[in-house]
Amino acid sequence: MELEGAGAIVAGGASGLGEASARTLVEAGAKVLIVDLNTDKGNALASELGPAAEFVAADVTDPEAIGNAVRQAASVDGGLRVSICCAGVGWAERLAHKNGPHNLELFTKVITVNLIGTFNVLRLCAAAMSENEPNEEGERGVCVNTASIAAFDGQIGQVAYAASKAGIAGMTLPAARDMAARGIRVVTIAPGLFDTPLLAALPEEARQSLGAGIPYPSRLGRPEEYAELALQIVANPMLNGETIRLDGALRMPPK
């Protein structure tokens, strides 16, 4: 997929994995629309990246807001060719505990943002990409979603988060099969422990301990490494319908 002048959208793009992806796409020549709820960070990032980047505030679960964002991203001359969805939330609670059963409202919130939000971005971007002229290989676009190794190695207290990320992994192959006739690829990245704002809140000793538990390299993943893989997915037309673990061979213990 040729990125020079192409439109790209990064949901959850104001920080962490999404920010790194937006930076990498701009460096590769794409016109990037950053979508996030954090207006201050989103505007600051778009301003820093220059005329090749714009920011729009939108909730991934809002069909109208994301529809407007997708139309904006698709309005560039090259059309919308790449979508990367990194938006997500987490919650830690056991299925049942001394205070009673898992909070259903919070379980629903995690599923709504992580799984339904990702699906909302995916379906709208795929529809917009379907209108593109195909390249010489018949390709019209690439959709990259973000799961987690928790989809496979969910820990104690991660029932909501693991279920939401497993759903993203589970819809990858059927989504890719749905869009194959239109030349649109769908691939999911399942990161392990990455140095994102979520982990930045932990004490340095705790961060070092988490990194040391990764077989190799024994450190937290860098957001740029996620972005590099996303760019490699965009570049390689044979990568399709797959969920790729990006975790340094980490397999999470129960807790």
| Catalytic annotation, pick one of 91, 107, 119, 161 | 161
Instruction: Verify cis geometry, omega within 30 degrees of 0, for the bond prior to 134.
Output: no
Q: According to DSSP H, which parts of 28-116 are helical?
A: 39-49, 63-74, 104-110
* 216 catalytic per annotation: no
Instruction: Identify the pLDDT of residue 207.
Output: 78
**Integer Cα distance of 17 and 249 in angstroms:** 19
- Radius of gyration of the chain, Cα coordinates, nearest whole angstrom: 18
**Integer Cα distance of 5 and 10 in angstroms:** 16
What is the average pLDDT score of the chain?
95
Please give the model's pTM, rounded to 2 decimal places: 0.96
Q: What is the CATH number of domain 7-195+221-245?
A: 3.40.50.720
Q: Are 20 and 231 in contact (CB under 8 A)?
A: no
Region of poorest pLDDT, from 80-84, 86-90, 147-151: 86-90
Domain ranges of the chain: 7-195+221-245
CA atoms within 13 A on the CB side of 18: 29
Is 197's pLDDT higher than 90? no
Instruction: Identify the pLDDT of residue 233.
Output: 98
Higher-pLDDT residue of 168 and 209 is 168
Is 2's pLDDT higher than 90? no
**% the chain with pLDDT above 90:** 91
Q: What is the mean pLDDT of residues 198-207?
A: 75
Q: What is the mean pLDDT of residues 224-241?
A: 98
Q: Angle 85-250-154 (CA atoms, 0-180°, nearest 5)?
A: 65
Instruction: Identify the pLDDT of residue 196.
Output: 87
Q: What is the mean pLDDT of residues 138-149?
A: 97
DSSP code at position 170: H
Instruction: Identify the pLDDT of residue 201.
Output: 66
Is 206's pLDDT higher than 80? no
State both tokens at 82: 């790449």
pLDDT band at 209 (very low <50, low <70, confident <90, very high): confident
